[in-house]
Amino acid sequence: MQDVGEAILIADLQGKIIEANYKATEILGYHREELVQMHAKQIHPPEIHQKVIATILETAKNGKNVIPNILALRKDGNWIWINIIYKIIQLENDEKFYQVIFQDITSYVLAEAVIKESEEKFRGTFEQTLMGIFLATLSGKIFRVNQVFRNIFGYSNADLSKLNLVDIIYTEERQDYQINLRSILAEKIQNYSTDNRLIHKKCKII
């Protein structure tokens, strides 16, 4: 138990902690001697603890034993996010305990929050800008355009879902586009800027 890489706590069925390995003390900031005198409620304050108990009961009914994204309180007062895997173990005297394996996922949760915030800002900029914008894969598949682009070029989302970027680039400029695309795929260049004429749905050149 002490040599494994995961944090492990052993608690009785009432929630009193009776054993903790080094990784658990490292994550929670307590000495082992402190943890084995504690109740799970001291790691998960009442409202969180009740959620944990309810989740254990619910996941047990569904035959699962994983509780993701649960808040825990460190000794220093900082909140961390953890994932819990638990199981009931039975000793030789038939006494039962919870074995709780957990990991600190705080950095992942915070990173996801930053990414989500960035995505929300991007969506706002994407839709509110006065410029027509489209997103396409390296193969040229158009998968997203803003309303300004649709207004300028007359295509609906359904129209664009059937088109490749090369289909709406003016014929005489397609070769340059394909040369630049091959250079990006070959990692000869990282990006390029160009002024291309595009074809309106009604075949006008814009």
The answer, yes or no, to whether residue 10 has pLDDT greater than 90, is: yes
122-206 has the same fold as 7-106: yes
Query: Would you tell me which CATH number, out of the four given (3.40.50.1110, 3.90.870.40, 3.30.450.20, 3.30.565.10), belongs to the domain 122-206?
Result: 3.30.450.20
Vertex 185, ends 182 and 190: CA angle to 5°? Answer: 100
Mean predicted confidence (pLDDT) in 134-140: 83
Instruction: Look at residue 9 and give its three-state secondary structure.
Output: strand
CA-CA distance, 130 to 133, in Å (whole number)? 9
Top-level class of domain 7-106: alpha beta
Instruction: Look at residue 31 and give its three-state secondary structure.
Output: coil
For 187-205, b/e burial (b = at least 16 CB within 10 A) is eeeeeeeeeeebbeeeeee
The answer, yes or no, to whether residue 75 has pLDDT greater than 90, is: yes
- pLDDT tens string 149-202: 999 999 988 888 888 888 999 888 888 888 888 888 787 887 778 888 898 988
Q: Which pLDDT score is estimated for 3?
A: 62
The residue assigned the tokens 């039962």 is 96
Tokens read off for 12? 């009785």
Vertex 82, ends 1 and 23: CA angle to 5°? Answer: 30
Structural domain spans, the chain: 7-106, 122-206
88 contact partners, CB below 8 Å, separation of at least 6:
13, 96, 97, 98, 99
What distances in angstroms separate CA 82 from CA 29, 44, 98, 144, one per listed residue?
Answer: 14, 11, 17, 36
Mean predicted confidence (pLDDT) in 28-43: 93
What integer best gives the mean pLDDT of the chain? 86
Mean predicted confidence (pLDDT) in 108-136: 86
Does this model's pTM top 0.85? Answer: no
Tokens read off for 169? 């680039």
Vertex 178, ends 177 and 181: CA angle to 5°? Answer: 85
CA-CA distance, 129 to 71, in Å (whole number)? 39
